[in-house]
């Protein structure tokens, strides 16, 4: 078993990150909020050949898709990259969103796509966003969905639909750590950089441990999906649980270490942390994800890295 991404996928991710930066970088999220339009940055995704990737087609393409999601997360790119990459191939659709009853909802607003929803039991539906009343500032492009059932054949969609957005969230945590690490080294108080205080160092290391742990699990869940393992859905749910927990810790600490400026529009961290909210809350938050995973596992547990 090798959970490392292929070098080509890693390189593709870095290329994507640079390309998004050249296309506007952080400004893209701000423009999307200003204009209530998530299509900003569309062209760079076309140029990267994002929609030619078939993550279901081969391991290489799946890994490239994950790396692209991570790059999109780094910039809090407003476009629903993970959802479009996960689109079902056997239905005429542009994007896939995982939903949970009651009140299916997702970050589906601000872009005109044909959505398919899949729930945790693998039921697929055509999903139509209801018009959202709230401004993007508070809605985060989240809208309720009207659901028209299609079939029960979505088990294969579910794992992919859960895993790819976790890679987006991982990219956000990468960035939050990078921003904060730079900030505490550059910001001086009491005649020395904040980073020279052990109390600050330890907080940042706690956050880094969470981020690294999430990265390991993200690669494992991707490998589980690639290998077509029977518990790929459980692995995906376990990844989601770890991602929410890691995001809580990382954003909590990176905000605290940024101080008050971290809550202001002037800082990238504030945009990043707001953009992370829908990913962390939908389709299920921390407790509900844990409950869903527990219900699926029963007494059997996960096979894990060293299982039979």
Give me the residues that bind other proteins (CB under 8 A), please. 101-103, 105, 134, 137-139, 142, 188-193, 196-200, 252, 255-256, 259-260, 263-266, 270, 273-274, 281-282, 285-288
Q: Could you tell me the smallest distance in angstroms from the CB atom of residue 1 to other proteins?
A: 35
Q: Could you tell me the smallest distance in angstroms from the CB atom of residue 230 to other proteins?
A: 29
User: Given the complex with other proteins, which of 224 and 267 has the nearer CB atom?
Assistant: 267
User: Given the complex with other proteins, which of 55 and 262 has the nearer CB atom?
Assistant: 262
CA-CA distance, 87 to 69, in Å (whole number)? 14
User: Given the complex with other proteins, which of 88 and 140 has the nearer CB atom?
Assistant: 140
Q: Could you tell me the smallest distance in angstroms from the CB atom of residue 57 to other proteins?
A: 34
CA 113 to centroid of chain Cα atoms: 19
Q: In Å, how far are 44, 97, 113 from 174, measured between CA atoms?
A: 21, 24, 29
Residue 256, token pair as written in the block = 């605290």
| DSSP line for 265-301 | TTSHHHHHHHHTHHHHHSS--HHHHHHHHHHHHTTT-
CA 35 to centroid of chain Cα atoms: 22
User: Given the complex with other proteins, which of 39 and 252 has the nearer CB atom?
Assistant: 252
Q: Could you tell me the smallest distance in angstroms from the CB atom of residue 307 to other proteins?
A: 29
Identify the helix (H) or strand (E) that includes residue 151. Answer: strand 143-151
User: Given the complex with other proteins, which of 85 and 200 has the nearer CB atom?
Assistant: 200
Q: Could you tell me the smallest distance in angstroms from the CB atom of residue 291 to other proteins?
A: 9
CA-CA distance, 168 to 283, in Å (whole number)? 15
Q: Could you tell me the smallest distance in angstroms from the CB atom of residue 288 to other proteins?
A: 8
Among positive and negative, which fits the CA dihedral 253, 25, 80, 264?
positive
N-term to C-term CA, the chain? 12
User: Given the complex with other proteins, which of 6 and 288 has the nearer CB atom?
Assistant: 288
User: Given the complex with other proteins, which of 288 and 303 has the nearer CB atom?
Assistant: 288
Q: In Å, how far are 87, 105, 170, 230 from 91, measured between CA atoms?
A: 8, 20, 29, 23
Q: Could you tell me the smallest distance in angstroms from the CB atom of residue 248 to other proteins?
A: 8
User: Given the complex with other proteins, which of 190 and 306 has the nearer CB atom?
Assistant: 190
> 109, 132, 102, 134: which is closest to 283 by C-alpha?
102
Q: Give the contacts of 156 (CB within 8 A, at least 6 positions apart).
A: 56
Q: Could you tell me the smallest distance in angstroms from the CB atom of residue 203 to other proteins?
A: 8
- Other Cβ atoms less than 10 A from the Cβ of 137: the count is 10
> 251, 260, 304, 256: which is closest to 280 by C-alpha?
251
User: Given the complex with other proteins, which of 220 and 251 has the nearer CB atom?
Assistant: 251
Q: Could you tell me the smallest distance in angstroms from the CB atom of residue 160 to other proteins?
A: 24
> 77, 136, 146, 74: which is closest to 109 by C-alpha?
136
């Amino acid at each position: 078993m090798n959970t490392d991404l292929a070098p080509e996928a890693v390189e593709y991710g870095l290329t994507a990150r640079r390309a998004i930066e050249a296309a506007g970088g952080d400004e893209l999220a701000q423009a999307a909020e200003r204009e209530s339009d998530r299509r900003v940055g569309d062209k760079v995704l076309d140029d990267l050949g994002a929609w030619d990737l078939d993550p279901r087609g081969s391991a290489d393409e799946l890994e490239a898709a994950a790396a692209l999601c991570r790059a999109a997360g780094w910039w809090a790119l407003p476009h629903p990259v993970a959802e479009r990459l996960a689109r079902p191939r056997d239905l005429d659709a542009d994007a896939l969103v995982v939903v949970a009853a009651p009140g299916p909802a997702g970050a589906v607003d601000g872009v005109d796509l044909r959505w398919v929803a899949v729930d945790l039991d693998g039921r697929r539906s055509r999903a139509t966003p209801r018009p959202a009343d709230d401004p993007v500032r508070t809605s985060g492009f989240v809208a309720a969905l009207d659901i028209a059932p299609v079939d029960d054949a979505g088990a294969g969609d579910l794992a992919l639909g859960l895993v790819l957005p976790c890679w987006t969230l991982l990219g956000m945590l990468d960035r939050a750590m990078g921003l904060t690490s730079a900030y505490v080294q550059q910001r001086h108080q009491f005649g020395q950089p904040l980073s020279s205080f052990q109390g600050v160092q330890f907080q940042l290391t706690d956050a880094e441990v969470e981020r690294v742990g999430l990265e390991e699990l993200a690669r494992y869940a991707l490998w589980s999906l690639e290998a077509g393992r029977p518990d790929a859905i459980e692995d995906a749910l376990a990844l989601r649980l770890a991602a929410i927990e890691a995001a809580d810790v990382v954003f909590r600490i990176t905000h605290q270490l940024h101080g008050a400026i971290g809550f202001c529009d002037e800082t990238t961290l504030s945009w990043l942390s707001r953009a992370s909210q829908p990913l962390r809350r939908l389709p299920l938050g921390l407790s509900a994800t844990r409950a869903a995973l527990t219900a699926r596992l029963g007494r059997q547990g996960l096979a894990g890295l060293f299982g039979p």
